[in-house]
Structure 1
């Protein structure tokens, strides 16, 4: 698989304009990236602009602290607007206090809202112990998620190859692992792939593929 086909070309900046998002889509098409990853408010705009691009939309972003109903509604709306993948953030505090039923049901609700579409579960590795990372991955698998993902890129750290390796070991070979946050060049991206990632989230996608 070519590296460019693993990339979700990403712009989640709060100051992103429609013109910025158009540029994101144009870059993704020109470089044959797998998809664009955006905030949900841009999904319908992108579908109207370019019907051929795959869209991943973030839900409960970036804190994961929204109610389950709110996350599920956002996911359902994004799918209806044209997204084919949802990247949702878990409720990190609930995981840390071992309220595993809450976290499981939070993920399940988003997966149900996605239907047959792909759900990626962002666990925010920089805030978790290894034990918590393992538990988060196990809950994501149990809830029927399609991917686990390292980071929002908006917290205290991003993807690490060691975390990718741990996540891959935990979920096995049938669930995707997405490395996201702080990946700036081809060397860093390949380290993630070699550790077990089969999707890369990046805003520096063009530099990565040079």
Structure 2
């Protein structure tokens, strides 16, 4: 713990290259399949050298795990990816600390992507990661803002994450997201079959035990 051999888990969409050959790092990425950048983030990208298998790309649909998710993925797809890939991968790896590249590109309003997440989904993901860090590494977790391009909606997503980190619970105490109810009513927020298959492919192609 705290040594140069300490094991850390990185959850991100754009910091994978410097983790590629390091078997002390579990890299997990949830991102839109075949988006930015279009030539990276495939399920087959698993790291290299000693780090092979330690990168996990989860494109919606070890120790690199890429989870590429299909365009249009909403709350159900991300919740399923966390249940089937992210949390089980952390529990297997048992990191000494967790570093989160906290990007908001997957929000419904992002001009560079085609996902449909509300601020509540980012709150959910933050809560899941904080709870995992408490169980696995004494609560050692760092969030760094790294993306999201909607000037209108990123502040509400960021506020939701910060409120979760600060333990601000209860809608009466939280910043009101004026777009939340509309986004959550949108069709296809629930898990779709093609999204489930995308995540399940990641589970099959890695050694993640769910």
Q: TM-score range by the shorter chain?
A: 0.3 to 0.5
- Determine which structure has greater relative contact order: mean sequence separation of CA pairs < 8 Å that are 6+ residues apart, divided by chain length: 2
The TM-score with structure 2 as length reference comes to: 0.36
More helix by share: 1
The TM-score with structure 1 as length reference comes to: 0.36
